Every structure is written in structure tokens, then in C-alpha cells.
Structure 1
Amino acid sequence: MPQIHVLSYFDTERIHPSVLLVRLESSEWSPPDILYIPLSGPFEPIEDEDLGDLEGVTVLLEDLVARSSAPNQVGIRLAHIASRHGLTEIPQLFVRLQDVEEVLQACPAPDSP
């Protein structure tokens, strides 16, 4: 399971979570083309200076998918990312929470019994 952290920005009144940092092990790059991550926190906060020297890639809106059967998860199309960047492995993914919200809002709610 990937490690999920949250990067936040601060204003004068409160902390605003803005980016999920998903750290992957090499085994998590295959076989799934789509990696589903849970959105139920709490997520461990991380500071900019704690990001380390690992290579990372920003996940675009088009790399995200939702499924109505799992409303507390979002999928990341690893194959799209790898193809776009010509990479076989990326240890860190940066996922904007604004994009996650947009994808989840576009996904139809599951039918009620």
C-alpha cells in the first residue's frame, strides 16, 4: 500500500490541505494500470523540506478516475503517467486535492438500495 501524506499551505487563519503526496514502492507500479488510493484520512502531514531528493511527478486531472462503487477512493492511471514521462518507475506522485474533488463530483453516486 502506498504511503500517503498531505502538503498544506498556511494563511493567517488556518491550515489548508492542498496536495496529496503518494509514495510508491517499485512493486506498486505493476501490474495495475490504475492504482486506487483511499481518501479516508487522517493523512500524515509533511513539510516541503521533508520531501527528500526522490523524483516525483504531478498527477494531472486526466490521470484521475473515480468509480461509483468505491466513493472513498480515487484511481491514478499509472500507465498514462509512465507513458507521458517515458518512465518505468516514479517514487512520488503529487495529486492536487482540487483535482480529486473535481473527479469525485463528476462521478455519479451509487444507486441507493
Structure 2
Amino acid sequence: MRIRAFCDFYNEAYRPLQLVIKCEPGELDWTKTLYISLPSPLEPLEAEDYGDERGVSVLMDDLVNQADDDSLLGILLPQIYRRHGESFELLIVQMDDVEEILQLDRYY
């Protein structure tokens, strides 16, 4: 699994806009919540780096934080699978949603 950030100019500053999680086919268990720790600093991702992998947008309703460790971001994979009926190699999360769930401002 590789965690990177798509960055671009927003409000006159270059900042991460999307968290992109790239997984190998079959790597994720779509019946469980995926918990990840965000690397710091986040590795930047260019638009051409997306490649041909199939991706899905992770909605705010798909995100949780773990009560024991508020630095872990939880992604409700079963909820995404129910909505789309298939698995994906890229999970794309809006950084504003990540910040709201984890109450962070350290990533830029």
C-alpha cells in the first residue's frame, strides 16, 4: 500500500488536496475497516501518476477515527463496497475530510 497526496494551488498556496491510497489487487479486505497512519511529510503525486488503476472517491461518511489512537484514519471499506459492488486499486479522499475527521492541520 502506498499513501501519497495530490497537490495543487488552492487559495494562493500549493497544498495537498487529495489523499491517494494505492493498493495492489486483492490487498484490501473489503469486509473490514481499513485503518491507516498518514506519513509525514506526505509524498506528492502528479496527475499523470494516477495511471490506469481503477479508483473510487471516499466520502466523508466513509471515514472514521479510531478512539484509541486519534492519529489513525479509518476507511469503512464495506460501506464503499456496498455502494459500488466491486473493489478498487485507488482510494481517493479529500484532504479537507481527512483534516475534519482527524482534526489536523499539520499536513501543510
TM-score (norm 1): 0.81
Instruction: Compute the displacement of 1:47 (Å).
Output: 0.4
Give ranges in structure 1 of 5+ residues lacking alignment: 106-113
Identity of aligned residues (%): 40
CA deviation digits over 1:77-112, x for unaligned, max 9?
Answer: 11111110010x21001011111122224xxxxxxx
TM-score (norm 2): 0.84
Partner residue in 1 for 2:82 = 83
Within 2, Cα distance between the matches of 1:52 and 1:31? 22
**Aligned structure 1 segments of 4 or more residues deviating by more than 4 angstroms:** none
Select the structure that is richer in strand: 2
Task: Name the Cα RMSD after superposition.
Answer: 1.8
Aligned length: 103
Partner residue in 2 for 1:55 = 54
Tell me which structure has the larger Cα radius of gyration: 1
Q: Show the 5 A alignment for 1:6-25.
A: 6-10=5-9, 13-25=12-24
SS at match of 2:18: strand
Give ranges in structure 2 of 5+ residues lacking alignment: 104-108
Instruction: Compute the displacement of 1:72 (Å).
Output: 1.3
Q: Show the 5 A alignment for 1:1-113.
A: 2-10=1-9, 13-30=12-29, 33-87=32-86, 89-105=87-103
